[in-house]
Chain A
Amino acid sequence: AQKVTQAQTEISVVEKEDVTLDCVYETRDTTYYLFWYKQPPSGELVFLIRRNSFDEQNEISGRYSWNFQKSTSSFNFTITASQVVDSAVYFCALSEASAGANSKLTFGKGITLSVRP
């Protein structure tokens, strides 16, 4: 069964610090997809990134970067030079391809990030 673990529940940093949000997943599939979503205090869920299991290249988008390591089943998210607007709950999620119609998007419990000015 697929599972996503976000062991950190709350992180508090001071503005301009770098912060890494950890995500560890479990799956028996060889083909799967990993996602990160952001939920700011306003409540909406904002898509950040989708990676498939065959693409282990790290990705950078502005101050955001993602480190995908199949060897450790991790898909960690780093925010460089954090800003107050980064304060949100961040969810990691996993979807298995082989389950077909029964595939589910499984979310982790989320990490609450607070960035203090």
Chain B
Amino acid sequence: DAGVIQSPRHEVTEMGQEVTLRCKPISGHNSLFWYRQTMMRGLELLIYFNNNVPIDDSGMPEDRFSAKMPNASFSTLKIQPSEPRDSAVYFCASSSQGRTDTQYFGPGTRLTVL
């Protein structure tokens, strides 16, 4: 079975540009999570969707970040405008039943903002 799919795997952009990260969860999973990993802060939950509805976006750093899940098989995380401090690895994860269930992670997108 296919795992969580993320694209792109690497993204290098310049400050001020818009960045869109994409995620396809495991088929049949109804919960989707976006995380950010940095050396300083470790793994942070940015936003959590259940049945395509955002349930908790308290981890989204600021208005420059937005996330959507238009259907059960696709989600995007957008940063506009990007800043150098947004450089991190962004992971998408999915689970079959919410936050207490096992979350399976995608390979991550390494974002570098110059």
Complex: how many Å from CA A33 to CA B95?
14
User: A67-109, CB under 8 A of B: which get 1 and which 0?
Assistant: 0000000000000000000000001000111000111110101
Q: Is the CB of A102 within 8 A of B56?
A: yes
**A50 interfacial by beta-carbon distance below 8 Å:** yes
Complex: how many Å from CA A107 to CA B36?
12
- Residues in A whose Cβ lies below 8 Å from that of B106: 44
**A45 interfacial by beta-carbon distance below 8 Å:** yes
A101-B55, A101-B56, A102-B56 are known contacts. Are A95 and B108 too (CB-CB below 8 A)?
no
**A62 interfacial by beta-carbon distance below 8 Å:** no
Interface residues on B, range: 20 to 34
Q: Would you list which residues of chain A between 26 and 55 have a CB under 8 Å from chain B?
A: 33, 35, 37, 43-47, 50
- Residues in A whose Cβ lies below 8 Å from that of B105: 37, 44-47
4 more CB-based (< 8 A) A-B contacts, given A45-B91, A46-B105, A105-B99: A101-B98, A105-B45, A107-B43, A110-B42
